[in-house]
Structure 1
Amino acid sequence: MVAHPPFATRRAVAADVATLRAIAVEAYEGYLPRMRGQRPGPMDADYEDLVASAETWVVTDGTDDIKGFVVLLPSPDDFVLDNIAVRPENQGQGYGRHLLALAEARANAVGAKAIRLYTHETMVENQRLYGRIGYVETSRRDDRGFGRVFFEKTLTS
């Protein structure tokens, strides 16, 4: 059994914005060759606005070192997991799954019946992960110039 670091989560604050931006670039830049010139939206997102207006959470190993983050757009009817990113050197250590579990807990807290998300059609690793943890593909379509795969997970709480 692989030992995981102690996970700690907290809401992101304005002082985290530069770190969130850097993590997004690091986490998504590996997809650039597959996307043939398109930049994933999270690489250019307005993290100042997201920290102020969305539920933006960071995960650490119990220190001040942010390993990843998730951006959630909650409402009782339409809970959206807008973005999840983990530093490449910390991927595979459970940080992403911890953030996905946090998203479910937050969705349950507001009484949402499901979580929705999408990923780029070339991000097949993400698609496999979402399928393994209970998300169901609902559609594939062009959305604002991107080929996207949409998923939904029904919550049971």
Structure 2
Amino acid sequence: MNIRTAHRDELPLLQDLELAAGVLFRNIGMTDVAEHPPPALEVFERYRADGQLWVSVDEADRPTGFVFVDLVDGGVHIEQISVHPDHQGHGIGRQLISCVDAWAARQGVGVVTLSTFRSVPWNGPYYMRLGFTELPRDAATPGLEKLLAAETALGLDPAERIFMTRKVAVQ
């Protein structure tokens, strides 16, 4: 498997990939999350143009997963990460996060954060296995609180959301 920056012509494929990944949420009764529309092409393009969108690709160079990040309050925040269900369970998510770690280190940023569902097995528990720890709510930065407010406005239950953090060795 290879990870590289996304190409502009792949952005519609990333939307399709995000929709496919939603089936896992539907299977556990989180229909609202499963049916949430993927990011707009303009959103993907902004991250791509800023060099903050990476894709994992298969042997035919087709995207199998993606991750994009923001800089939030001195840290790198994983805004979205998705792996197509046909390719899950092969370490793609872990490799995408390692790519983010390496990018953060090159930027001189020593921490990566994300927000996720506390109890969904491939969310909070998965990230804990990758070395992320839960950030106490009272330790959330203003930028992270703003992200939580945006998630809440989209209909996500803030009681089910957690922030997680992981240190990065700065180069």
Q: CA deviation at 1:62?
A: 3.6
Give the Cα separation in 2 of the matches to 1:31 and 1:50: 22
Q: Which residue of 1 aligns with 2:83?
A: 86
Q: Which string of whole-angstrom CA distances, capped at 9 and with x for unpartnered residues, describes residues 80-119 of structure 1?
A: 1111111101101121111011010011111111000011
Q: Percent identity?
A: 23
Q: Which string of whole-angstrom CA distances, capped at 9 and with x for unpartnered residues, describes residues 6-62 of structure 1?
A: x21221122111110011011122213545442369743123322323511111134
Q: Between 82-91 and 60-69, report the one with greater CA deviation.
A: 60-69
Q: Which residue of 1 aligns with 2:60?
A: 63
Give the Cα separation in 1 of the matches to 2:81 and 2:32: 18
Q: Between 46-55 and 102-111, report the one with greater CA deviation.
A: 46-55
Give the Cα separation in 2 of the matches to 1:81 and 1:23: 17
Q: Between 57-66 and 81-90, report the one with greater CA deviation.
A: 57-66
Q: Secondary structure at the match of 1:153?
A: strand
Give the Cα separation in 1 of the matches to 2:34 and 2:119: 11
Give the Cα separation in 2 of the matches to 1:73 and 1:41: 24
TM-score of the two chains, using structure 1 as the length reference: 0.82
Q: CA deviation at 1:65?
A: 1.5
Larger helix share, 1 or 2: 2
Unpaired segments ≥5 residues, structure 2 = 138-147
The 5-angstrom pairing of residues 5-154 of structure 1 reads 7-32=1-26, 34=28, 36-39=30-33, 43-53=37-47, 54=50, 55-74=52-71, 77-139=74-136, 143-144=151-152, 145-146=155-156, 147-154=160-167
* Aligned length, in residue pairs: 151
Q: CA deviation at 1:123?
A: 2.1
TM-score of the two chains, using structure 2 as the length reference: 0.76
Unpaired segments ≥5 residues, structure 1 = 1-6
